[in-house]
Amino acid sequence: MRILVVGAGAIGGYFGGRLVEAGRDVTFLVRPKRAEQLAGGLSVRSPKGDIQVASPKLVTEATLREPGSMGQPYDLVLLSCKAFDLDRAMDSFAPAMGPTSMVLPLLNGMAHIEKLQKRFGNTAVLGGQCQISATLDPAGHVMHLNDWHLLGFGELDGSRSARIEAVGAAFAGAKFVPQLSASILQDMWEKWIFIATMAGITCLMRASLGDVGTAGGHGIALALFDECAAIAGKNLHVPNASVSENVRKVLTTPGSTLMASMLRDAENHNRTEHEHVLGDLLARAHGVRAPVLETCLVHMRAYEARRSREG
């Protein structure tokens, strides 16, 4: 199976690196600046074992568009871009798509699924979600920050197709946790409401979950989760009781240093995915009252307004 990983940032670099480590045929589609960084190799630092890929296979959008440069279309496109870069990312990997190519997106939320289906057709798009905390250091090394490294995937209709079995076979043996799911949409919703709660509360408070608790904010965090869970239920994806219980434990663990990547983006004065994670969730409330979620969204919109105003 020929795999194209769109982006070699924290997520794409980690899972793509693990697949290379397992001997899979992986190419990274990167921008010229990232290609320069990776000229010296792809480096992953992880509690699950470091990876050093001396010469990762790289292509750029310009290379893909050169006549005869690509060969056969890729079988699987593993998409790990930021939500606000989705349109540009789709343009970049469009030449790599063939009639049977699959796109496995690892973005949070749901809006990207609809965009990908509109661009490439319903049958081309798989469901996907990952559970990992990772970032890039200033030198461009992938830093895996916790013990989680699950990659969930499945057909959006829940079927056990031959092609999804082939994806599972390609992932088997790689040093992450592949999870072939017959209910990937439910999995994606459950992750979405967790990420929205994490991002909303840690960005609103500019602090880790443990710091929020120290300040007496556990009740606000739990109220936010309840709102997000109610919206999921309104969209026919009531979170599993065990998932809700685990999320509540994570949100209220004393001394937790967990914080959302959206907070790291805000602290670095970068653009955030607040509309995709918070805004789109609120847009799907369908009458559910969500004052804490709305406050978190307004907070992040104000951050972006100031960031834009100050250039």
Residues present in the chain in total: 311
Catalytic residue among 82, 118, 191, 234: 191
Q: CA–CA separation, 227 vs 246, rounded Å?
A: 16
Note whether 173 and 163 are within 8 A (CB): no
Helices (H), 206-275: 209-214, 218-234, 241-251, 261-267, 274
With tokens 């279309």, the residue in question is: 73
Note whether 98 and 73 are within 8 A (CB): yes
Whole-number CA gyration radius for the chain: 19
Note whether 5 and 38 are within 8 A (CB): no
Report the interhelical angle of 291-310 vs 218-234 (nearest 10°).
100
Q: Phi and psi of 42, rounded to 5°?
A: -100, 120
Task: Reduce the DSSP state of residue 250 to 3 states and report it.
Answer: helix
Note whether 170 and 3 are within 8 A (CB): yes
Output the CA torsion 297→298→299→301 (10° steps): 90
| Beta strand pairing call for 134-136 and 142-144 | antiparallel
CA 180, distance to chain mean position in Å, is 17
Q: CA–CA separation, 288 vs 57, rounded Å?
A: 48
Task: Reduce the DSSP state of residue 126 to 3 states and report it.
Answer: coil
Note whether 124 and 116 are within 8 A (CB): yes
191 part of the active site: yes
Which residues form the catalytic set? 191
